[in-house]
Structure 1
């Protein structure tokens, strides 16, 4: 094998950070190989006057780099996967998906946005993507804290430039907020040349990590792909050695939807594939080429409902328990962040004022919206996938919340389960059984039961048929049911079960 190779990539800090990740992957397996970087200016770099979705053509940030391969001026091209819109990318040449950061988009605001919200002033959001413009602005209408009786007025305006350039424009006051990929921010916060400037630009900002289901990312977002030509055998050997097969498979799942609904910066939908401990699934949502809204799930649910009686506890959430609020509940004031399992957990002004001074995360968007109505700034949520799902987000350089800095605020029953796992948790209300005879009879007759919480199962387990099948969403409910010796059929979320069941 040759000892020296050339990598072609763009000249932005982010592109160079991705090239360095590629170099480290290669060095770990081929310590004798030297890799030089050739910086290429692409058409996307040259044309900065228009929003990308108005620029004609495709592959604005990859075409010239790929040309270097074809002209044998470089051995490898390193790209952000979401920039590769070629329909036949996986069918041509040789490639390796080598790394993936967080999937999420992030809204970053100047602190002055609080006064604008309070005064009912227009909030200008900078984004170069119709997908982000449509989804994120709609989400922010419900997610920003309610600080007056005036509705939020949000307007999306085009922004161009590299990540650090966009952060500088925000810092200069050209926008009240901007939307970026969390992946790029995290990579820059680990890339030595960029750390000081990027961390400085972020230091006084307010952040919202946008939820995956309401604001799904572009296909391939957060992934790095490297490619070479079919006749560069030494380069092919290197790519085959560093290729990450699970990531490659995830990207392929996402690109199925990109092929169906379209690639490029003008698209108005997002898609992501997620592998959790309990289930793997793909989710796509947005608008197709005819501006028709769609939502699609792809996951395995091995349940035969034909001639079976199915009972979904998720359809009777209010019929299992009453809530006994603990007026003098005390939370851990030393905690730096709170994870709110239900908006019911923040039920008085003392609790509200206490958590308002800290960083707040929610179990899902329903809880997020209710907390926002109380005037609370929510930084992000677990998308209804469980507390475990956001651990990687907490550990990321952008968020940087240590495990011992978080307290979960929930009900007293759930509190005990969390504490048994060594997690700081407090109960601010108690669940009081409130089960009607009608619900008892339905559970006793059911062949298949979908549990929305483990507490529902605990309350009803003496009523259940011995051969009944159990189902639930991923997260704490699934893990607790498994501890009971059950083998529940796991769905991604409660909404995923509802969508699946309505089709069956």
Structure 2
């Protein structure tokens, strides 16, 4: 293994913060290794104003990093796991799943007293996530859900300027940037809103052929987090493998076993299906919860969502 490793990452403030934190952890594990951080702009970054579903959704923030990996231009990449498709290129592997931060979402509001339940009628809430939109409208069908893009600071600024009454973000990103003391927010627990698959976790991806590096990066892995996200990704893969429809899941360790809850719904929030199960095999657990939802008619919902998205893209 080289003494200087090139680390690929997106160039956003959050991505850079996550990568620097990961590099520091690796340095503590092996002080003799040096790191060069390589910023890479992805398709999702280039098309920042576009609807994510219209630019292929999941994978839009990782494809360019994976290409650089396969070409040998970088040694490994640091990703937000929720951005990585459930099936990756055969030459690559997720060598390490780093200990998860908060998996939940948070509702960021102007006034400290505002919550999901007492925001004014027809409040404008900013999110471009179909998953968040469906679950918000299921609880508050009066909400006016409007798309929002940009980095975390930009979204918060737009809300404070009055473009939105509230916005929804991943709590982990807010925490990693040290913003929790500067905003008013309500944590949306899994009972209120199931998170995206792998939300809050980081993944280190590298080439399979670099066996020494794979083994070395694996030392940073958190086994509990790895189990949970493997179950969540198995669930998503069994449903469809993408995030082009409202879908969420959250796994956690409870006693000596693991529990997984999965959700699929329609964009308007009128239908929201949830199932849960427990087990100690992550893949079987994910597939089992997916199977229960499929029995409830999940695939019909998925096809409807795809047709609706095609109409949006065409228009």
TM-score (norm 2): 0.79
What is the distance in 1 between the residues matched to 2:81 and 2:119?
Answer: 41
Listed one character per residue, the Cα deviations across residues 234-260 of structure 1 (whole Å, up to 9, x for unaligned) are 422321222222221111111111112
Corresponding residue for residue 167 of structure 1: 156
Q: Secondary structure at the match of 2:99?
A: strand
Matches within 5 A, 1:262-277: 262-277=240-255
- d(CA) in 2 for partners of 1:119, 1:25: 41
Aligned to 1:5, the other structure's residue is in SS state strand
Give me the whole-angstrom Cα distance separating, in 1, the residues matched to 2:236 and 2:9.
24
Could you tell me how far apart the structure 2 residues matched to 1:77 and 1:2 are? 16
- Counterpart for residue 30 of structure 1: 30
Structure 1 residue 112: Cα displacement: 9.2
CA RMSD of superposed structures (Å): 2.8
**Secondary structure of the equivalent of 1:15?**
helix
Say yes or no: does 1:218 pair with 2:207. no
1:45-444 superposed matches below 5 A: 45-56=45-56, 58-88=58-88, 92-111=92-111, 121-139=121-139, 141=140, 153-189=142-178, 198=179, 203=182, 205-277=183-255, 279-287=257-265, 293-300=272-279
Q: What is the deviation of 1:56?
A: 3.2
Distance 1:119 1:213 in 2: 19
1:214 CA drift (Å): 3.1
Structure 2 contact 137–143 (Cα < 8 Å) conserved:
yes
**Shift of the alpha carbon at 1:91?**
9.0
Name 2:11's counterpart in structure 1. 11
- The structural deviation recorded for 1:3 is 1.1
Stretch of structure 1 that moved more, 157-166 or 256-265: 256-265
Deviating beyond 3 angstroms after TM superposition, the runs of 4 or more aligned structure 1 residues are 88-92, 117-121, 276-279
Change in CA separation of 1:157 and 1:222 when aligned onto 2, cut-off 3 Å = same
Question: Is the CA contact (8 Å cut-off) linking 1:135 and 1:215 kept in structure 2?
Answer: yes
Structure 1 residues 236 and 164, CA gap change in structure 2 (3 angstroms): same
CA distance in 2, matches of 1:2, 1:258: 36
Contact 2:58–2:83 under 8 Å retained in 1: no
User: How has the CA–CA distance of structure 1 residues 210 and 57 changed in structure 2, closer, same or farther, with 3 Å as cutoff?
Assistant: closer
- By how many angstroms is 1:11 displaced? 0.7
1:165 shift after superposition = 1.4
Q: 2: distance between equivalents of 1:112 and 1:29?
A: 41
Deviation of the 1:293 alpha carbon: 4.1
Instruction: In structure 2, list runs of 5 or more residues that go unmatched.
Output: 281-291, 293-315
| Alpha-carbon offset, residue 21 of structure 1 | 2.3
Change in CA separation of 1:36 and 1:176 when aligned onto 2, cut-off 3 Å = same
CA distance in 2, matches of 1:186, 1:25: 17
Contact 1:113 1:123 in 2 (8 A): no
Give a deviation string over 1:48-75, Cα, whole Å, max 9, x none. Answer: 2222122236410000011111111100
Per-residue CA deviation, residues 356-415 of structure 1 (Å, 9 max, x unaligned), is xxxxxxxxxxxxxxxxxxxxxxxxxxxxxxxxxxxxxxxxxxxxxxxxxxxxxxxxxxxx
Cα distance between partner residues in 2 of 1:58 and 1:187 = 22
Distance 2:247 2:201 in 1: 18
Distance in 1 separating the partners of 2:64 and 2:212: 22
Shift of the 137–165 alpha-carbon distance from structure 1 to 2, 3 Å rule, reads same
Cα distance in 1 for residues equivalent to 2:89 and 2:102 = 23
Q: Residue by residue, what CA displacement relative to the aligned partner does 1:174-229 show, whole Å, maximum 9, x if unpaired?
A: 1110000011111111xxxxxxxx46xx63x4322112033100110000000111
**Rounded Cα–Cα distance in structure 1 between residues aligned with 2:103 and 2:231:** 14
Q: 1: distance between equivalents of 2:63 and 2:56?
A: 13
Unaligned runs of at least 5 residues, structure 1: 142-151, 190-197, 302-498, 500-504
Whose RCO is larger (CA < 8 A, sep 6+)? Answer: 2
CA deviation vs aligned residue, 1:392-441 (integer Å, no higher than 9, x gap): xxxxxxxxxxxxxxxxxxxxxxxxxxxxxxxxxxxxxxxxxxxxxxxxxx
In the superposition, the TM-score normalised over structure 1's length comes to: 0.51
C-alpha spacing 1:52/1:275, structure 2 compared with 1 (3 Å): same
The whole-number CA distance in structure 2 between the counterparts of 1:175 and 1:72 is 43
Q: Secondary structure at the match of 1:242?
A: coil
